[in-house]
A = this chain, B = another copy of it.
């Protein structure tokens, strides 16, 4: 703070205030966050009066009360994608994830099974693992060396009275379930039961890609200065893509929200290109007996989700220049490079793009009312060799750029909706998935508050 302030003053000697103004602006962002007021909010009333067809009211994005409720009602009571199996390939490999002030360990145990535990020692509460990922033999608390087996049971605790029962002090476990190589957790005692059904729909779309047999080519955590819901809403529409995502849009057919009747003569060639690509994708799917039943159940069930399979423009293979491939080794049993994009959206916090040559998976973790972390992981075939089959830069180009562009948009939106001058505005025709997210979210709050 001091630094920024001094800079702001010293820059004053420049022949223009612009620099000091800009430094102030940077500071502003910080201050806006640090000083976000948390006025008492009547959440029931907020939820009750939510206006269909309009963006959510400000407190949903800026109040501490709503944030705390989101953690409890949404993040601790629903299934969350937290990691790909490829992130913990060996026994003892772990990742830790932070959801607000919750920290959860996801671990591959000695029997190659996957476990999840609260990242808190049962003695005096020390964090067990502070690194975001790594490998361990046993879980040894850094404070007093209480030692837990990879199944969470307490193996060792020094200087205890004879009455001490180790059986009472195993790690608190968290529900865990994998779907086609993707690890989901749920911290609730009774996790939503419909997840099995959803898994049953999604798994067939993943089977051919054999994601278990991939490796992490790259991973980035991006801190965004916005509420987690703004990050999700931004992900759920491409209304902003033309203006914001030059790299991304080249991969997709710019026909979002168009129906056949909307096709003007100008759009005709594009539309025909799209029809050809769709037909080719149909054929390729038939060969593999790849499922074609796309589903959109974003706000009609507890475990809201959508799965679609879109052809890509240009070469139609991947996110490389003009739709070209970014990895030479194709995933699983996919032999046709132009296999489109299997796109999966899951409530509350994840989305996935699975292509013939790589998969990129995303999840959003809330940090504070005005802060979120987006973790992006790029997966390639286990046998793909960096520098030979792929290079990290080309592999990650499009989504590194896109994420950074989205970070800017989300930050601007957080500042705007935190401004008392904000009033909810109307969704456009192409923001139906944003509204579906908002519907799902508000309905889940209603269900939680009704209990």
Q: Which residues of A contact B (CB under 8 A)?
A: 1-2, 4-5, 8-9, 12-13, 15-18, 20-22, 24-37, 39, 55, 58, 64, 67-68, 98, 101-104, 118-128, 130-133, 142-145, 157-161, 164, 169, 172, 216, 218-223, 225, 233, 239-240, 242-244, 257, 367-369, 371, 373, 377, 386, 392-393, 396, 400, 404, 407-409, 412-413, 415-426, 428-430
Contact = CB atoms under 8 A, between A and B. Distances in A.
A247 B434 CA distance: 58
Q: Within the oligomer, what is the number of copies of this chain? A: 3
Contacts of A8: 220-223
Contact of A412 (B102, B130, B223, B420): B130
A31 B428 contact: no
Nearest to A221: B24
A9 B220 contact: yes
B421 A120 contact: yes
Contact of A421 (B26, B172, B257, B422): B172
A221 B132 contact: no
27 contacts: A1-B33, A2-B29, A8-B222, A9-B222, A12-B222, A15-B218, A15-B386, A18-B132, A21-B219, A21-B221, A22-B131, A35-B369, A37-B101, A103-B419, A119-B416, A120-B417, A120-B419, A120-B421, A121-B416, A123-B428, A125-B423, A130-B412, A143-B243, A144-B243, A145-B242, A159-B428, A159-B430
Query: Does more than half of chain A's interface fall in helix, strand or loop, or is it mixed?
Result: mixed
Contacts of A239: 144, 158-159
Nearest to A409: B143
Contact of A130 (B15, B17, B25, B429): B25
B221 A373 contact: no
A105 to B, nearest CB: 10
B20 A55 contact: no
A219 B422 contact: no
Contact of A161 (B121, B132, B429): B429
Contacts of A28: 98, 367
